[in-house]
Amino acid sequence: MRVAVIGAGIAGLATAAGLAKAGAGVEVFERGPRDAVPGAGISLFPNSRAALGSMGFLEAYDQVPYGPCAGTRTVMRRPSGRVAFSLPPWARPQVRMLHRNDLREFLLKCCNGIPIHWDTAVTVTDDGGPSGSAGITTADGRVSSWDLVIAADGLRSITRDFLGLDPGLRYAGYAAWRGVTRGPADTGGMAGEDWGNRQRFGTVPLADGRVYWFAVTSVEAGRSAASDGLATEKEAAAREFAGWYPAARSLIAQTDESEVLRHDLYDLASHSRRFIAAGWRLPATRRMP
């Protein structure tokens, strides 16, 4: 079976690796460059390990360095720094805390041998109908046919839109700053997510001693440092969390300005409809003009 995967994010790379391992002839199409560095960190819960294990990548995954869970107390603090809640050691989630770039490099290793076409944006131009080959087209007009096309092109998927399955997006009501400290930073042996009034702050130690942090605030969509009259997003995060406990402020201070990301958070407005339901045939095969 020949499979095209659109998108080399976490979903696209993991799917490509799993399908190739199962014997499919897979190629990945990614509009971004190979050397793009995905920002900040990520916490992976045990279901991701189970999924990677079911695809045969457990041994390799267990070699990826992750943050020090064992010696770290998982807490929820108040903005003052007072610990409101501390998980007993036996109840700690088996979370692995990684830099997103390490996760990406691991997934790329799992995709060894799979052609990945970087800098190649594609669109689905033929859904293939119930039994035909699906077609994709690159920006410079190259067309190819596939038994299966996997749309792993993210939250703003144009493929989902093309197939008429896009439920639209819903603003979650908050924006997040994220960053990784420029060097090892002291967390006082604690990690977790702290809750204030319309604000949250997360502390996530990484394997090399650096710390991934996130700072979330409930605010209308579209705001930015510039719209608030500030020079950088680091300044905006520092101002928003100026009243928080010193370790939180210190993590922001120990991060380079260029490494501070800010995003408004969106979800799908509702569940996406299924492409092909049992017994239902597509009314007509769709082709782009």
205 forms beta bridges with: 211
39 contributes a contact to ligand FAD by CB under 6 A: no
Interface region with ligand FAD, contact rule CB under 6 A, candidates 4-12, 75-83, 126-134, 140-148: 4-12
Q: Give 192's Cβ-side CA count (13 Å radius).
A: 23
Q: How far is the CB of 123 from ligand FAD (least distance, A)?
A: 6
Q: Which two tokens stand for residue 275?
A: 């492409």
16 contributes a contact to ligand FAD by CB under 6 A: no
Question: In this complex, which beta carbon is closest to ligand FAD, that of residue 46 or of residue 56?
Answer: 46
Interface region with ligand FAD, contact rule CB under 6 A, candidates 57-65, 80-88, 125-133, 151-159: 151-159
Question: In this complex, which beta carbon is closest to ligand FAD, that of residue 29 or of residue 213?
Answer: 29
154 contributes a contact to ligand FAD by CB under 6 A: yes
Restricting to residues 164-193, name those near ligand FAD by CB under 6 A: 176, 178
Cα–Cα dist 13/19, whole Å:
10
Number of residues that bind ligand FAD (CB under 6 A): 25
263 contributes a contact to ligand FAD by CB under 6 A: yes
**Chain contacts with ligand FAD (rule: CB under 6 A):** 6-12, 29-32, 42-44, 121-123, 152-154, 158, 176, 178, 263, 265
